[in-house]
Structure 1
Amino acid sequence: MANVIRTIDLFAGAGGLSHGFELAGRGYEPVFAVEIDDAAARTFKRNFGCEVYTGDIEMVEDFREGEVIIGGPPCQGFSPLGRNRDDESRAQLNELWQQYLRAVHEVKPKAFVIENVPEFQRSAQFAELLHLMESDPLLKEYSFGYGVLHAADYGVPQSRRRGIFMAVRGVDEVPWPPPPTHGPESPGERPYATVRDVIANLPAKPKADEIGWDGERQDLHLRRNPRPMSLERYKAIPEGGNRFDLARNRPDLLPDCWRNKPTGTTDVMGRLWWDRPSVTIRTEFYKPEKGRYLHPVADRPITHREAARLQSFPDEFVFEGSKIEVARQIGNAVPPLLGKAIAEHVHRVAFPDHGSKNGDE
């Protein structure tokens, strides 16, 4: 147990952030998680085996002991995609981060990490967090760093930006950001991981209709059954194209809602590029009308397996729930490789003299 760093994951989802901490190989071990969504909680339990409280974090009476608290309070209150919420529900969502701080006060970890959408760091709630870090008797013991990290800079084959706040108790400073491993700021300017890198070896024509098993691995490479008109629309869109290519190539197939709106997002009904990171994978990646989710060359949207790989989940990671529930877990997750980079940074700053499972430090 001497080399174990116990982690507590709040608002844990499927466990992308916890899996990233595991991938770091620094001795991190989940001991407790809180997740309100039943399917996501079952996924976390299946993959990590620790105690999971399934329900509202406000109902947790006491948290387990641990050295690191991680987690991402629900982001819809800050995200542009959540702007249609009423003021009361938005306020309730935004205040959930205070439950996170309740856990910090109870557990008094060596370090904690808050993950959220970039908008959180421009919110009144974040300004209040910064005030508390300077005025609260316990929180004043923590140095902190924060900013927006680009997942592609850390090996994720996806353009996805997340706001990360990292605090460590008993150190003079928290250097920021974590050193990039890919892209122009990385050592040797290592190229970004691309769509081709992670999904090119999957069959162009999936065969499964439902989540099942292919030998010892979960089969998430699921086909859909588009209407003939939808299939014709897909065929009219080239690699990297979008609904505007559809308008040029097959105006007869253009829906009136797009015909009457000649401007707007270029990602709708978009096709991915092979040799670039993907766009941000969201919860409805299986609907091309929601974004740039068409396969680079196959006339279909990306599958659950492809989306999971673009989020940097390994095929061995098992998801629980229906197809819609699994898609939601994939789209809401912190990419594990981004989590790994954060975990390594936490280890460098908070546990510099701590051993690792790999015995390399």
Structure 2
Amino acid sequence: MTKLPKLKAVDFFCSGGGMSFGMQEAGIKILAGIDFDISCKETYESNITGADFIHADVFDLSEDYLTQRLSLKKNDDELVLIGCSPCQFWSIIQTDKSKSSKSKNLLKEFRRFVEHLNPGYVVVENVPGVLRKKRASGLSGFVRLLKANGYKVHFDVHEVSEYGVPQHRRRFTLIANRVTPIEVAPIPLSGNKVTVRDVLGEHNGFPKVPQGHKDDTPFLHRVAGLEKINLERLAMTPKDGGTRLAYVDNEELAPKCHKGKKDSFKDIYGRMWWDRPAPTITTKFFSLSNGRFGHPEEDRAISLREGAILQSFPIDYVFKTNSIANTARMIGNAVPPKYATAIGKAIIENHYNAV
């Protein structure tokens, strides 16, 4: 029996390893993760088997150095290059873009390594705004390059709840395949979508805890504290999907900027629904004032571990960080691992059908 080749990948902008872990679960060997944030190193290495964490700014990383360090070969059909760069600059969320302006060129930097190595497969995952700004983000030129080099290119915006992630989240995804003439796309799951009830609650191992609950164990069922007024607001918010509209006209409880306003910012201070996928898990998911991040039943925001579960990290995924904010940022910025697995399985299926 012919031994099947082992696909292997290098994950640029790897952060805490969401994409790497999902690809690893699919059956792809992760050679290395690259990130300029050294605080990701412990988390990445604790979860990604045998991978090398390379602490580097991609702007300063040379193609020859990476090739030599990882013993990579050019034109390797079994190599996957992954580039899921930080995406705040291209997000539709109206925030100050000055801090993230450097990130707008990360796709162009990733392109250098694709040109140099000409791997069998290329994967890019980002916010839908990259597709809306194809020329400015460098996407148009990147796709032209790939097609000119013989890649069959799939790129589209996908809803991750179609792939087993218990969360609504729309993500731009590009998969380029040089091994076969087939357009490779993530493989969706059949059946019902995974909901909050399917993964959270006491029946899933999450004991009831109050706001401000401390948990320094690896389980990290840790919850941000709430001011008295936010506790009162949440107490008035109906269970299972309730919103701030419950107190929108209350002189004492309604925030001044929202008082009497019933048609905007409905998710702020809201509760999740039990029987729907969660809303998009952002880097601020631990805060009630930043979205519909209230527990469906308990008077608190969701915990760090609950946020990770809604991102589809396994319950025993290890996070090595030093604060609620840093952990939440790593979780919220991650590629949902189950979505990454859907991408990895599509690549594997294509590759082994070609062998």
Q: Distance in 2 between the 1:126 and 1:349 partners?
A: 31
Output the TM-score relative to the length of structure 2.
0.87
**Match of 2:79?**
67
Mapped partners of 1:14, 1:349: distance in 2: 27
Aligned partner of 2:102 in structure 1 is 92
Q: Does the C-alpha gap of structure 1 residues 14 and 125 become closer, same or farther in structure 2, counting only changes over 3 Å?
A: farther
Q: Identical aligned pairs, as a percentage?
A: 32
Structure 1 residues 135, 254: CA separation in 2 closer, same or farther (over 3 Å shift)? closer
Q: Could you say which residue in structure 2 is the equivalent of 1:149?
A: 158
- Correspondence for 2:38: 38
C-alpha deviation, 1:31, in angstroms: 0.9
Q: Which residue of 2 aligns with 1:173?
A: 182
Pair 1:77 & 2:118 matched? no
Match of 1:197 in 2: 198
TM-score by length of 1: 0.86
1:227 offset after TM fit, Å?
2.3
Give the structure 2 partner of residue 343 of structure 1: 344
Unaligned runs of 5+ in 2: 73-77
| Deviation for aligned residue 1:350 | 3.2
CA distance, structure 1, for counterparts of residue 116 and residue 334 of structure 2: 26
The separation in 1 between residues aligned to 2:41 and 2:296, in whole angstroms, is 33
**For residue 102 of structure 1, what is the amino acid of its counterpart?**
R
Partner SS for 1:256: coil
What does residue 240 of structure 1 align with?
Answer: 241
Superposed, which structure 2 residues align to 1:271-290 within 5 Å? Answer: 271-290=271-290
Q: Deviations over 1:148-198 (max 9, x none)?
A: 1111000110001100001011321314x43320xxxx3xxx111000110
CA distance in 2, matches of 1:127, 1:100: 12
Provide the alpha-carbon RMSD of the alignment: 2.3
The residue that corresponds to 1:320 in the other structure is: 320
Q: CA deviation at 1:120?
A: 0.4
Question: Does the CA-based 8 Å contact 1:293-1:302 persist in structure 2?
Answer: yes
2:219 corresponds to which residue? 219
Alignment correspondent of 1:297: 297
Q: Closer, same or farther in 2 for the Cα pair 1:115/1:104, shift >3 Å?
A: same
Instruction: Indicate how the Cα distance of structure 1 residues 2 and 179 shifts in structure 2: closer, same or farther if over 3 A, else same.
Output: closer
Instruction: Determine which of 140, 143, 168 is the counterpart of 1:159.
Output: 168
Count of residues in correspondence between the two structures? 336
Maintained 8 Å contact 1:94/1:125: no
Q: Measured at CA, do residues 293 and 16 of structure 1 come closer, stay the same or move farther in structure 2, by a change above 3 Å?
A: same
Conserved 8 A contact 1:206-1:221: no
Structure 1 11/259 Cα, relative in aligned 2: closer, same or farther at 3 Å?
Answer: same
Matches within 5 A, 1:43-54: 43-48=43-48, 49-54=50-55
- Specify the alignment match of 1:358 in structure 2: none
Question: Does structure 1 residue 20 correspond to structure 2 residue 48?
Answer: no
* CA offsets 1:298-354 (integer angstroms, 9 cap, x no match): 000000010011011012211111221111000000111101101111112234256
Q: 1:127 Cα deviation (Å)?
A: 7.7
User: Do the aligned partners of 1:6 and 1:30 also contact (CA within 8 Å) in 2?
Assistant: yes
- Cα gap change, 1:132 to 1:19, in 2 (>3 Å): closer
Question: In 2, distance between residues paired with 1:128 and 1:19?
Answer: 27
SS at match of 2:33: strand
SS across alignment from 1:148: strand
CA distance in 2, matches of 1:329, 1:57: 19
Separation in 1, partners of 2:54, 2:61: 8
Runs of 4+ with >4 A deviation: 206-211
Aligned 8 A contact 1:22 1:29 in 2 = yes
